[in-house]
Amino acid sequence: MTAKSTTRNRLIIAGATVGVVAAGVVGVVTVQAQDQDPATRTPVIVNAADAHLAQSTHLSIAAATRAAQTALDAAAKENQRVSVAVVDRNGNVIVTLRGDGAGPQSYDAAQQKAFTAVSWNAPTTELAERLESAPHLADIDGTLFLGGGAPVRAGNAPIAGIGVAGAPSGDLDEKFAKAGVASLGS
Amino acid sequence: MTAKSTTRNRLIIAGATVGVVAAGVVGVVTVQAQDQDPATRTPVIVNAADAHLAQSTHLSIAAATRAAQTALDAAAKENQRVSVAVVDRNGNVIVTLRGDGAGPQSYDAAQQKAFTAVSWNAPTTELAERLESAPHLADIDGTLFLGGGAPVRAGNAPIAGIGVAGAPSGDLDEKFAKAGVASLGS
Amino acid sequence: MTAKSTTRNRLIIAGATVGVVAAGVVGVVTVQAQDQDPATRTPVIVNAADAHLAQSTHLSIAAATRAAQTALDAAAKENQRVSVAVVDRNGNVIVTLRGDGAGPQSYDAAQQKAFTAVSWNAPTTELAERLESAPHLADIDGTLFLGGGAPVRAGNAPIAGIGVAGAPSGDLDEKFAKAGVASLGS
Amino acid sequence: MTAKSTTRNRLIIAGATVGVVAAGVVGVVTVQAQDQDPATRTPVIVNAADAHLAQSTHLSIAAATRAAQTALDAAAKENQRVSVAVVDRNGNVIVTLRGDGAGPQSYDAAQQKAFTAVSWNAPTTELAERLESAPHLADIDGTLFLGGGAPVRAGNAPIAGIGVAGAPSGDLDEKFAKAGVASLGS
Amino acid sequence: MTAKSTTRNRLIIAGATVGVVAAGVVGVVTVQAQDQDPATRTPVIVNAADAHLAQSTHLSIAAATRAAQTALDAAAKENQRVSVAVVDRNGNVIVTLRGDGAGPQSYDAAQQKAFTAVSWNAPTTELAERLESAPHLADIDGTLFLGGGAPVRAGNAPIAGIGVAGAPSGDLDEKFAKAGVASLGS
Amino acid sequence: MTAKSTTRNRLIIAGATVGVVAAGVVGVVTVQAQDQDPATRTPVIVNAADAHLAQSTHLSIAAATRAAQTALDAAAKENQRVSVAVVDRNGNVIVTLRGDGAGPQSYDAAQQKAFTAVSWNAPTTELAERLESAPHLADIDGTLFLGGGAPVRAGNAPIAGIGVAGAPSGDLDEKFAKAGVASLGS
Amino acid sequence: MTAKSTTRNRLIIAGATVGVVAAGVVGVVTVQAQDQDPATRTPVIVNAADAHLAQSTHLSIAAATRAAQTALDAAAKENQRVSVAVVDRNGNVIVTLRGDGAGPQSYDAAQQKAFTAVSWNAPTTELAERLESAPHLADIDGTLFLGGGAPVRAGNAPIAGIGVAGAPSGDLDEKFAKAGVASLGS
Amino acid sequence: MTAKSTTRNRLIIAGATVGVVAAGVVGVVTVQAQDQDPATRTPVIVNAADAHLAQSTHLSIAAATRAAQTALDAAAKENQRVSVAVVDRNGNVIVTLRGDGAGPQSYDAAQQKAFTAVSWNAPTTELAERLESAPHLADIDGTLFLGGGAPVRAGNAPIAGIGVAGAPSGDLDEKFAKAGVASLGS
């Protein structure tokens, strides 16, 4: 065991919150059923050594839902009917909300705007301008270079994207997306 | 131990890791270009507050490559031609290696076995047995209930899956996959 | 104007809620921009006559979010990590919530369980039993015959489906889905 | 029960057409089979409370078929061979007619034009002009910014889209689509 | 017998039908636009010689619509809400009708039943029985081995398939599909 | 039986070629197996009446193969490595040939060029010019507006398309495609 | 330079056919256009060293076409209407022939049978029997465990697969596929 | 046996390494199981004659992994987080590496850049310039005309492509891809 992993183990013991959360967040341990008779099963469960592990930060589902709901409410205040999506840094969709009366194009578009914003860590209105010099960025699967996407950051790095679609203009959509982001600042 | 990791450990104790770790791991901060003239841009960059953040553990790409290579080497030693895939806990593919002479079916199959193993935190040979009571688990998109997938764990929770396909039997495939997992235990 | 449409119009007048909501829900009227100069545009906007119209009942996004959140909370109380989806009667996804630490297979599975429940207006555990007599029902695109889906009804007719996936058993998933449905009963 | 739902119930009683149609339209109630022995089944069927419900207006299949047939006939009168599609406000295809001798590209194109028209509540010739200011609207999945799509409205809100494709020009296609819309005005 | 068909019959006897019929049925001849200046264009338009041509029989769109409508009406008489599809011998969808209140699974299922019936020239209830000896027929893309599909024949050969889905049983669905077929017998 | 269908039956008898070919081409009649005991089966097999039928002209597989092979040979003579596809008027692929050493992009591209040529009955180099006035034609699924596609005609109507891809320029690809078309002119 | 690569280079020199063919088969060298001004371009073109290269054997397109045509002819002799596909060892489709009057399901099925045969180097009738012990092999994407696929071998290793579909039984389909394989034996 | 195949056989004899590797690389020979009782099995295994065979050159998996790792390391040295892919001449993906912290768009983009580079045997920055004269090249499936792809050559012919995505500019991505290519030059 390396010094590094020793240190980390100590940290987990000293600060169980982080360690336990990490183990808890990652997944459900449902090994009981198949381990009833450990003698006849693969008896050794190998845990990856710390040297091989990395940590990443992401939004909790509670936070993502809060942001999405805030964006939807912001749109409703202006009588705009939109859909909202939150996507994590790996492009996985975390939350979708199809607003009442939102156009059918809005559901996928919201996801793609969120994906685009988190991919390049910038609002999609800004990213759309970048296409002047690199128009074929827009050919990448899953992207949409229309206003309405905004990144969520932690330590200035992108950890999620919020996308809104359905309002008459991308600027409006993005205003609502940014309201969602802002709700996470406190 | 590098200065960087020292800092990180200290931060964990202080309880603020989150942001700094995030900057290191999560993504590239490429905000310079569009912030040249901050006065004319959206001046406020909101970082999500810690209360909204969670941490997850995953394999580094170096570790994932090591595991995949180990599995491939294990197969080569037995003159088996296989493909190997490593998938993270969210189902995103991290590494694929299409072995020399591996059958065309092996590439997708390896990914699906890895996906299945990390989804239920068990080797796919075990999971295949569970289908007796719930056969329609096999209808879930992206899954494959054939031997050859093995989970990678941290704190007993699944953080990745390794899948191997192409050998004459699933047991052989799984043997190689487990060799890959074992390479991460030290 | 037919007698039928007259009656309906009266109803709208007498109970503006329904009529106004109907018009409001359906879509955003964004005709202003292109109608600035009506003389040069197609001047006639035809509205479909009432005889050609039907009404359908569906969940508001507020209700769908409430149900999904309730299902997610019910799972959290039992330390289960799941994803939740709400699908309307036409199979369109309305809400998705990917719970913290839920397996990657849970996101699509939740949507498919919801789809299945609303398609046949029954919990998916019941529907799974029906496969004994018609096993190829499970081949229909978008369906998943695993416990965890429950229909939402209005006047005993299905108007939505709630799907939960990620717990160790379909029975558990379905318990949470039904908690979501129950939250709409009051 | 809230005042709002009380009002609505009254309306249903006063104007049974709407209420009954709503229940009838929504779906087939096929609960008999599995409720033969209610004592051994989940005995409580929860119906969602009115506060959680919304109503939406859509075309009956009879009306949608009429509109599609009218569009096809209009094309036939001018010896044009086209395909026709009707899509509802949620983007679900309701009717397709592949006209005799219509080109193979026309079938999907008709659906996408209909989808585009109902999404933005305008004929697709008008929408195509909007691309000058927002060219990447055309990157949204399912859209096609070519003449030939026209919205169907109720109370000025879009409730369906009709798309026609296959004629030598989008203007011709759109003329036929509008003939279909017009057939619903009486 | 119209003058037109007389001409056609004569042509068949003369052995030159092919071209003329082809011009009428196959597609729109839109060569005018690009042939305005034949001198600067590829001046030679080659028509395939008769030896290379074959004829196939298919339903007119009028007939296919009639059959689909008949099937839908048959279902409505028994208060069943279904979707209907007609597919030609090459698997191309010709007509779809999504009935009022039909479940979301019915639309694709109707197409797949029609496809299955025309592929093997038999009702899908009969085909489902064949799976006992060849269960993996059901793995072929686009097929669905559930009652509700019926072939349309000309000279005992399959020229189209009609599929119905959404009723509580496949037998009911198939009854309606056969009503659609029967409507073409006169 | 109507006079019209009588006439047609007579024609079949008098001119067995057409009738028999029609019956023969359309599909395999494999009804023997399930009709062994007609009394217990649906005893009535309805054949669609002639009034509901149309005829279409298409290339025989022998002709389509000849054309594809000719195009491939023409490319080989100029040391160009290409793929070739033939698509019928309904967009169904009839023949594909992936030439030795052809780039991986050529296989799908050849099909899409063939599809485009048969859809609009013109060589794709000409069609590419049309995009100046209707650029979004290129957004239609399955199309590719690059030189290399050529229509096959019967009576000036399109009955198939030949697509070639892989040469350094679209003009070259189209030269080979036209060689394939020309091979059918005699 | 290693001894191994030296040897290979010698072979190329001694037997230019292979070397030149190899270079020629692999792809079109179209570097002229972009190398007009080498001074302003990346001047160094690196060729991979021999140590990093492997050779694989595959069917020429002429051979694959011959095999497919032979299979189609064998079916025609027995009045069976089928589609035929040839797939290389990497699963890439090389040739497809949709036979006259073949059912619409036959085209994809032929490809999948060919894919399955080359993946496991055995006729698909034999492979179908293996499903008894490993039924979920059939869940691998692109496979079809129905008679009609046969491998093509060189040195007993699979280099291609031929698939036939559309006859009333898999045994018949496979007979034709094997006829195609046999045509390559001389 | 033709002169050509004789020559080839001689070469194999003279340089057994190549020939044996070729046979070995191609696939796993797992014929033992099904040939236990040859009398009851298809007794004749036909090997394709040499006249029907061609050879192609490709990267070994060891070489492809080396190139991918080198590209990833080159990016890491400049603190860029990228994904890397290696694709063979037939477009099959051989290796993927999703770098730590690489944006979600990078994984597919890397594959598409690699595909594009190997298709036209040029770096994607050069290919992007070609779009000026043939913009619709970018519509071909699987391509991406952004800097970051570079071909791997043997005898100046393309045998693989390396794609890198995720850095702030395509030039940077391509620098890393070329580092990967360069690693194969010795």
d(CA H100, CA B165): 25
Considering only the beta carbons, identify the residue of C24, C33, C101 that sits closest to A27.
C101
Q: Residue B149 pairs with which residues in a beta bridge? A: B163
User: How large is the average pLDDT for residues H75-102?
Assistant: 98
Least confident of E100-104, F22-26, H121-125: F22-26
**pLDDT tens digits, residue range B82-95?**
999 999 999 999 99
State the nearest Cα–Cα gap between F55 and chain E, in angstroms.
Answer: 5
CA C105 to chain centre: 21
Contact C103 B118 (CB under 8 A): yes
Chain E CB contacts of F23 below 8 Å: 57, 154-157
The per-residue DSSP string of E118-167 comes to: HHHTS-HHHHHHHTTT-GGGGGSTT---SS-EEEEEETTEEEEEEEEE-S
Angle at A120 between CA A116 and CA A121, to 5 degrees: 100
Tell whether the model's pLDDT for residue H38 goes beyond 50: no
Decide if B170 contacts B124 (C-beta within 8 A): yes
Least confident of D43-47, D156-160, F108-112, G128-132: D43-47
The two counts, helices (H) then strands (E), for chain C are 6, 5
Contact B97 H93 (CB under 8 A): no
User: Quick one: pLDDT at residue F18?
Assistant: 22
Q: Does domain C61-182 have CATH number 3.90.420.10?
A: no
User: Quick one: pLDDT at residue F45?
Assistant: 66
Q: What is the DSSP letter of D38?
A: G
User: Quick one: pLDDT at residue G33?
Assistant: 31
Contact B115 C104 (CB under 8 A): yes
d(CA B71, CA B79): 13
Chain B CB contacts of G140 below 8 Å: 105, 108-109, 112, 144, 146
Chain H CB contacts of F124 below 8 Å: none
Least confident of D36-45, G22-31, H46-55, H177-186: G22-31
**pLDDT tens digits, residue range C137-168?**
999 999 999 999 999 999 999 999 999 999 99
The angle that helices H3-14 and G3-14 make with each other, rounded to 10 degrees, is 160
**F vs A contact (3+ beta-carbon pairs below 8 A):** no
User: How large is the average pLDDT for residues F14-26?
Assistant: 23
User: Quick one: pLDDT at residue G39?
Assistant: 36
The contacts of residue F105 (CB under 8 Å, 6+ apart) are F165, F166, H91, H115, H116, H119, H120, H140, H141, H142, H143
- More confident call, F13 vs A155: A155
Tell whether the model's pLDDT for residue D16 goes beyond 60: no
**F vs B contact (3+ beta-carbon pairs below 8 A):** no
**B vs E contact (3+ beta-carbon pairs below 8 A):** no
Tell whether the model's pLDDT for residue E31 goes beyond 60: no
User: Quick one: pLDDT at residue F46?
Assistant: 77
Element (H, E) at C163: strand C157-165
User: How large is the average pLDDT for residues A95-107?
Assistant: 98
Integer-rounded Cα radius of gyration of chain A: 21
User: Quick one: pLDDT at residue E46?
Assistant: 78
Tell whether the model's pLDDT for residue F1 goes beyond 70: no
Tell whether the model's pLDDT for residue B26 goes beyond 60: no
Chain G CB contacts of F100 below 8 Å: 25, 60-61
Which of the four pLDDT bands, split at 50, 70 and 90, describes residue C5? Answer: very low
Compute the Cα dihedral for A133, A135, A138, A139 and give only its sign: negative
Which of the four pLDDT bands, split at 50, 70 and 90, describes residue A45? Answer: low
Identify the CA nearest to E59 among candidates E184, E176, E164.
Answer: E184
**pLDDT tens digits, residue range C24-63?**
222 222 222 333 333 334 435 679 999 999 999 999 999 9
CA A65 to chain centre: 11
User: Quick one: pLDDT at residue G45?
Assistant: 66
Q: What is the DSSP letter of G132?
A: T
Cβ–Cβ pairs < 8 A, chains D and F: 47
Tell whether the model's pLDDT for residue A153 goes beyond 90: yes
**pLDDT tens digits, residue range D99-114?**
999 999 999 999 999 9
**C vs H contact (3+ beta-carbon pairs below 8 A):** no
**pLDDT tens digits, residue range B34-49?**
333 333 344 356 799 9
Considering only the beta carbons, identify the residue of H56, H157, H185 that sits closest to G29.
H157
- More confident call, F117 vs B38: F117
Chain E CB contacts of D27 below 8 Å: 81, 101, 103
| Sequence ranges of the domains in chain C | 3-34, 61-182
State the nearest Cα–Cα gap between H93 and chain F, in angstroms.
Answer: 12
User: How large is the average pLDDT for residues F144-158?
Assistant: 97
Least confident of A46-50, A162-166, G151-155: A46-50
State the nearest Cα–Cα gap between E66 and chain D, in angstroms.
Answer: 11
Average pLDDT, chain B: 80
User: Quick one: pLDDT at residue B163?
Assistant: 98
Measured between CA atoms, the residue of chain H closest to residue G174 is: H42
Considering only the beta carbons, identify the residue of H61, H99, H107 that sits closest to B100.
H61
Contact A103 D115 (CB under 8 A): no
Token code pair at residue A185: 């600042």
Phi, psi of G44 (to 5 degrees): -100, 120
User: How large is the average pLDDT for residues D113-123?
Assistant: 98
Number of other residues whose CB lies within 10 A of the CB of residue H175: 20
Angle at C174 between CA C169 and CA C176, to 5 degrees: 105
Least confident of A59-63, B24-28, G91-95: B24-28
Contact D140 A105 (CB under 8 A): yes
User: How large is the average pLDDT for residues C93-109?
Assistant: 98
Average pLDDT, chain D: 80
User: How large is the average pLDDT for residues D116-132?
Assistant: 96
**pLDDT tens digits, residue range E33-67?**
333 333 334 435 679 999 999 999 999 999 999 99
- More confident call, B27 vs A180: A180
Give H136's Cβ-side CA count (13 Å radius): 26
Decide if A65 contacts D52 (C-beta within 8 A): no
User: How large is the average pLDDT for residues H134-145?
Assistant: 96
Decide if A85 contacts A116 (C-beta within 8 A): no
What subunits make at least 3 CB pairs under 8 angstroms with H? A, B, F, G
User: Quick one: pLDDT at residue F35?
Assistant: 35
- With b for 16 or more beta-carbon neighbours within 10 A and e for fewer, the F48-58 pattern comes to bbbebbbbbbb
Preferred mutation among G119, G152, G153 to probe B, highest tally of B CBs within 10 A: G119
Chain F CB contacts of D112 below 8 Å: 140-141
Q: In percent, how much of chain A has pLDDT > 90? A: 73
- More confident call, H164 vs B29: H164
As for the ipTM of the complex, it is: 0.79
Write out the E strands in E23-144: 53-59, 83-88, 93-98
User: Quick one: pLDDT at residue B45?
Assistant: 66
Which of the four pLDDT bands, split at 50, 70 and 90, describes residue D116? Answer: very high
Question: Which residues of chain H are at the F interface, by a Cβ-Cβ cutoff of 8 Å?
Answer: 54, 56, 87, 89-91, 115-116, 118-120, 134, 136-137, 139-143, 158
Question: Which residues of chain D are at the A interface, by a Cβ-Cβ cutoff of 8 Å?
Answer: 54, 56, 87, 89-91, 115-116, 118-120, 134, 136-137, 139-143, 158
Number of other residues whose CB lies within 10 A of the CB of residue H168: 14
SS3 A83: strand
User: How large is the average pLDDT for residues E127-150?
Assistant: 96
Identify the CA nearest to F28 among candidates G68, E54, E153.
Answer: E153
User: Quick one: pLDDT at residue F25?
Assistant: 26
- More confident call, D37 vs E170: E170
Which of the four pLDDT bands, split at 50, 70 and 90, describes residue B1? Answer: very low
Decide if E51 contacts F185 (C-beta within 8 A): no
Average pLDDT, chain F: 80
d(CA A151, CA A148): 10
Write out the E strands in chain H: 53-59, 83-88, 93-98, 149-154, 157-165
Low-confidence ranges of chain G (pLDDT < 50): 1-43
Which of the four pLDDT bands, split at 50, 70 and 90, describes residue A18? Answer: very low
Tell whether the model's pLDDT for residue F92 goes beyond 90: yes
Decide if H78 contacts B28 (C-beta within 8 A): no
Decide if C153 contacts C121 (C-beta within 8 A): yes
**pLDDT tens digits, residue range E75-92?**
999 999 999 999 999 999
Token code pair at residue F185: 């002119």
